[in-house]
Structure 1
Amino acid sequence: MVNIDSLDRLIIDELRVNGRASFADIGQRVGLSPSAVKRRIDRMTAEGVIRGFGVRLDPTVDGQAIEAIVELFCTGTVAPEELRRILGGNAHVVEAWTVTGSADALVRMRAATMTDLEEALETIRLARQVDNTRSALVLSRLVENNSA
């Protein structure tokens, strides 16, 4: 387990608010020098506490306006690594999780058209380990927590 202290948590909180903040700005807010902030961020990145930095785009900008949440039901027991293999090669899969309950996994997918989404789902359904799927189309986003 990776240990992070209260200063690390403050730095993480600052990055959640503004991932583009400079080391100097963060340092001023948490009471550290810019170089100390950089060392801590570098360490947390190397240890996997911080998994990356990026841009969160409006999906319509990329032409991926159709979004679906798909419940995936498998035949028998399927290892997470096998689900990762089945789903990882599908360009329309944005995220996927193994879950408790009747479904074996939840999959978030995006596509430009309903035809694209249907074809992507069919590709997943063709895997011999997949018994069936149940899909729900996203109509509107009510809450999006960018700090998660």
Structure 2
Amino acid sequence: MTVPNTGRSTQLDRVDRLILAHLVDHGRSSLSDLAEAVNASPSSAQRRLRRLEADGVIRGYRAVLDPAAIDRALVVHLSVVLVDHTAETVDRFERWIVDLDGVVSCHHVTGDVDYLLRIDVADVHALDVLLRRTLAQIPGVARFTTMVATSGLVDRYTAM
């Protein structure tokens, strides 16, 4: 899991934030389109873009896939509670989850649960298999709760 750099020294001004907002929705924009969208010259936009990449503000670019086209149309959120919080239990759980097929995101959270996951699967049968044959078998998991998404309102970073 990627941990945010909270000690980042990069100062983002209005134009930097406009560049980032534009790239979230238009990651394959040409430099001239990006410059026009943020009302900057192409050379200025390019310098800023390179700085944002070099500073790690922009961590990469990726293709956004159609979940139905790759048999991942069912979006499931899971809350997971561990039996304890020892280093061994936490490490074991995290090692299992990192390579689990279908995991889109996993966050260690505060509150009544320990982890919140988003897993995309083909259908209810695939979810059942995942829950019974995988998650229920992970040592150290006390319980988990599934929440199946019935529609998506906003999903800026993983789906279109």
- Same topology, TM > 0.5: yes
The yes-or-no answer on 1:129 pairing with 2:137 is no
What's the TM-score once normalised by structure 2's chain length? 0.78
Q: CA-to-partner distance for each residue in 1:114-146, whole Å, 9 max, x for gaps?
A: 3322232231232222111111222222x1242
What RMSD in Å do the two structures reach over aligned CA positions? 2.3
Picking from 42, 49, 56, the partner of 2:57 is 49
What is the Cα deviation at residue 78 of structure 1?
5.1
The yes-or-no answer on 1:112 pairing with 2:126 is no
Q: Once the two structures are aligned, what percentage of the paired residues are identical?
A: 29
Q: Please list every run of 5 or more consecutive structure 1 residues that lacks an aligned counterpart in the other structure.
A: none
What is the Cα deviation at residue 83 of structure 1?
4.2
Name the residue aligned to 1:15: 23
Q: CA-to-partner distance for each residue in 1:27-51, whole Å, 9 max, x for gaps?
A: 1333433233223222212322112
Q: Please list every run of 5 or more consecutive structure 2 residues that lacks an aligned counterpart in the other structure.
A: 1-7
Contact 2:93 2:139 in 1 (8 A): no
Q: CA-to-partner distance for each residue in 1:36-90, whole Å, 9 max, x for gaps?
A: 3223222212322112222323311111122211110101115666543221110
What is the Cα deviation at residue 108 of structure 1?
0.9
Runs of 4+ in structure 1 off by over 4 angstroms are: 78-83
Picking from 51, 63, 78, the partner of 1:70 is 78
CA distance in 1, matches of 2:155, 2:143: 31
Note the 1:19-98 alignment, pairs <5 A.
19-77=27-85, 82-98=92-108
